[in-house]
Structure 1
């Protein structure tokens, strides 16, 4: 049985190169700027550009959300905001949740920051929340993200054909999943 209190606690998770903190209003400026990076928008399939007030309100309400966990990602040392991630679409009956991560600028990709952040949140998801399964969608052209997810233990479970229309081209999305048992094997 999952522990929903673990979603309400809004923890700070610390690794060697990243620190994950509860997303809040103080992160609104950085979060807003991240929604302006064209390449990040393409990689995440974000057509719509939310306004600053919408972003500020969204960030300010994350602590109130008892059925999801939204965390800001900071680089350590230095404390630069490098993105955000979430465990959402939590299904207590099936002990599963969706995962998403977005780095704030292309300059932060390829450095292992997203991989470390993903491993930290997966450890929390399986050991503290006690989920059985974590899943995600990733666009098939995002090979760097797919490689990171595979390195963290995710496997491709399916394909959503023509899920994204971007600049007149259609792209598939891959459904990837990770079971607790696979996560435990990868910890060894």
Structure 2
């Protein structure tokens, strides 16, 4: 494994660029049952063809996407454990947020929450976004709690609009704006700007 480049880090998590040497790990994390259920996909992706498409999609660059590798940083070396992405609408200065912590050893330890805070810090203080939003299924209480700890607030719900483990559920719509970013800003600390 190459030595990771961490753009930002806290006590539990760090974020850095997507790495070509981790493409197999990214694909594998997306195929875990916890990810399939969390994203409400009904089936895993097919191995051969989908892996090639997946690799191509991760290696491609787009002005509409900022992709991150998520690391657990509480051990002797940063350990890649997941991915996060901002899907940008640059005309409106907003983005949709997704995250997947695929490595089971990082789940339930606050890595996802801190990674989300770091991505929001990047979104507001590097990219200059005015709002980051997401959709989460109502039964996914752990994800909702992590998002709330990172500053997201519930803005409404779409009733009976999705499925969770075969039953009809609500989608929760959440967002956060720069004024509600709970901080601290690692970007501002790193570059000596006022907090």
Both proteins in one fold, TM over 0.5: yes
Contact 1:25 1:57 in 2 (8 A): no
Match of 1:71 in 2: 68
- Residues 141-176 of structure 1, C-alpha deviations (whole Å, 9 max, x = no match): 111111111111111111122232344311211000
Contact 2:72 2:106 in 1 (8 A): no
Cα distance in 2 for partners of 1:166, 1:100 equals 18
Contact 1:37 1:105 in 2 (8 A): no
Cα distance in 2 for partners of 1:170, 1:53 equals 33
Contact 2:68 2:83 in 1 (8 A): yes
Aligned partner of 2:29 among 30, 34, 46: 34
**DSSP 3-state at the match of 1:162:** strand
Cα distance in 2 for partners of 1:140, 1:15 equals 28
Give ranges in structure 1 of 5+ residues lacking alignment. Answer: 1-9
Change (3 A) 1:162 1:108: farther
Aligned partner of 1:187 among 177, 183, 187: 183
Match of 1:20 in 2: 15
Match of 1:4 in 2: none
How high is the TM-score relative to the length of structure 2? 0.80
Aligned residues: CA RMSD: 2.0
Match of 2:55 in 1: 56
How high is the TM-score relative to the length of structure 1? 0.83
Contact 1:96 1:132 in 2 (8 A): yes
Contact 1:137 1:174 in 2 (8 A): yes
Change (3 A) 1:107 1:163: farther
Match of 1:5 in 2: none
